[in-house]
């Protein structure tokens, strides 16, 4: 059996030959984006691609999202490891403004967060590894997750579907247009924040705008609640443990001379620690309740809990970092100093198996490949596709090899049976 070093050399050679094919695949995906929970064609096309190269494919009954297994002949799930690569497949409701041949053909829908790149890179890694299938020391699983851009994200569905069962380590990447192509960003521990959203309804007493003394004005109460919410994070939470509260919507009434009955406020909450996240609801109840009581108003508070924080396993991210250094050199590694306060539902998989996500630099030399994520002009330097595919494939093989020979000890989840789905 060949060593991991031989594996890596073979993978590099295979991916060099497939570079133009992968760029074409990315452009095809970019031109045909689909919104969350509607990724039917994307799922069908990629599932067929994986089946054609020898993967066992399991598609959700809903027709969106699937996972695919590459299993060597002598695989024993009781002793041999399973390493997963996860990618997201949905697009955003954004009208693309790029004037390129592969611009979105679905008006008002765009891959503005790089999911087309994520899919291509994961598929490229799978293509390369499929050509050395006989030499694998474990099972490779590719997770193609729907609905990452909405809450609750599709990761919850995929976990319920059995996509993470039996997985010993899970890897992922995310495009970073603030990082130059040829570099990757790595961070041990918290990479992203936990994400929750809230809705506050302030209920007053409506009436004529000329007689506010006859009313309980929910707009006046809402303005005070809004000010208090923005001060809340520094007043009730340790500044060394970040808590970010943002109001995105305030709505009340439809007529300028009518004091409305209800004012509604919606926003998001982002935290890094479990302790701060658990304290948010009682603090919100206290702050909002106190102001409403003082003005004779009532309120209703609803909190929708989103994805927890992505916490990178130190051993897994360490392997990704070393693979990156070997491939890109020391200058190719950016050690991310602080976690992002954005949310990412890759974290749900990490509740079942250790793993890590890294950032893939996609910024090119010109202005076209330097627009931020979720921009109507987001695009990438396509040299990043080959880099991402190589690092994902190399890292998956290295993690698999180290798990097989006992060099890498991770806290494995309880062994679960392989999902009894129907391979398509």
Beta partners for residue 45, in sequence order: none
Q: How far apart are CA 23 and CA 362, in angstroms?
A: 14
Q: How far apart are CA 286 and CA 409, in angstroms?
A: 45
The beta strands (E) that lie in 99-151 are given as 139-145
- C-alpha distance from residue 378 to each of 30, 94, 177, 321 (Å): 11, 11, 8, 26
Chain centre distance of CA 281:
25
Burial label for 145, CB within 10 Å (0-12, 13-18, 19+), is buried
* Coil/strand/helix, residue 217: coil
The verdict on whether 188 is a catalytic residue reads no
Q: How far apart are CA 153 and CA 139, in angstroms?
A: 26
Q: Which of 96, 148, 345, 382 is catalytic?
A: 148
Q: Which of 69, 80, 88, 90 is catalytic?
A: 90
The verdict on whether 407 is a catalytic residue reads no
Binding-site residues from annotation for Mn(2+): 113, 115, 149, 174, 374
Rounded to 5 degrees, φ, ψ at 312 are -75, 130
> 232: phi > 0 → left, psi -120 to 50 → alpha, else beta; which?
alpha
- Residue 185 structure tokens: 């960003």
* Coil/strand/helix, residue 86: strand
Burial label for 112, CB within 10 Å (0-12, 13-18, 19+), is buried
Residues classed as catalytic? 90, 148
């Amino acid at each position: 059996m060949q060593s991991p070093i031989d594996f890596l050399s073979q993978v590099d050679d295979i991916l060099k030959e497939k570079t133009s094919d992968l760029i074409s695949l990315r452009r095809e995906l970019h031109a045909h984006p689909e919104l969350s929970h509607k990724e039917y064609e994307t799922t069908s096309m990629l599932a067929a691609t994986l089946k054609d190269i020898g993967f066992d494919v399991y598609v959700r009954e809903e027709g969106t999202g699937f996972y695919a297994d590459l299993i060597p002949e002598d695989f024993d799930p009781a002793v041999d490891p399973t390493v997963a690569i996860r990618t997201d497949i949905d697009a955003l409701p954004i009208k693309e403004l790029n004037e390129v041949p592969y611009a979105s053909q679905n008006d008002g829908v765009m891959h503005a967060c790089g999911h087309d790149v994520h899919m291509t890179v994961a598929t490229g890694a799978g293509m390369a590894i499929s050509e050395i299938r006989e030499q694998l020391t474990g099972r490779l699983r590719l997770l193609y997750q729907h609905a990452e851009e909405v809450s609750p994200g599709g990761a919850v569905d995929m976990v319920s579907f059995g996509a993470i069962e039996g997985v010993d380590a899970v890897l992922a990447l995310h495009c970073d247009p603030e990082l130059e192509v040829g570099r990757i960003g790595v961070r041990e521990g918290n990479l992203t924040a936990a994400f929750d959203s809230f809705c506050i309804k302030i209920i007053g007493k409506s009436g004529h705008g000329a007689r506010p003394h006859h009313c309980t004005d929910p707009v006046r109460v809402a303005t005070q609640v809004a000010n208090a919410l923005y001060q809340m994070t520094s007043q009730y939470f340790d500044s060394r443990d970040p808590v970010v509260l943002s109001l995105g919507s305030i709505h009340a009434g439809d007529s300028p001379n009518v004091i409305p009955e209800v004012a509604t406020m919606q926003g998001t909450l982002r935290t890094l620690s479990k302790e701060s996240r658990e304290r948010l609801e009682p603090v919100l109840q206290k702050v909002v309740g106190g102001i409403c009581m003082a003005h004779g108003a009532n309120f209703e508070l609803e909190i929708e809990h989103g994805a927890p924080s992505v916490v990178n396993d130190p051993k897994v991210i360490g392997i990704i970092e070393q693979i990156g250094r070997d491939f890109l050199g020391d200058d190719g590694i950016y050690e991310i100093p602080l976690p992002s306060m954005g949310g990412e539902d890759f974290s749900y998989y990490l509740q079942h198996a250790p793993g890590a996500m890294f950032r893939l630099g996609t910024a090119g030399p010109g202005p076209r490949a330097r627009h931020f994520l979720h921009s109507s002009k987001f695009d990438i330097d396509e040299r990043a596709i080959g880099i991402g595919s190589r690092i994902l494939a190399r890292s998956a093989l290295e993690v698999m090899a180290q798990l097989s020979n006992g060099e890498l000890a991770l806290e494995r989840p309880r062994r679960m049976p392989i999902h009894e789905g129907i391979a398509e």
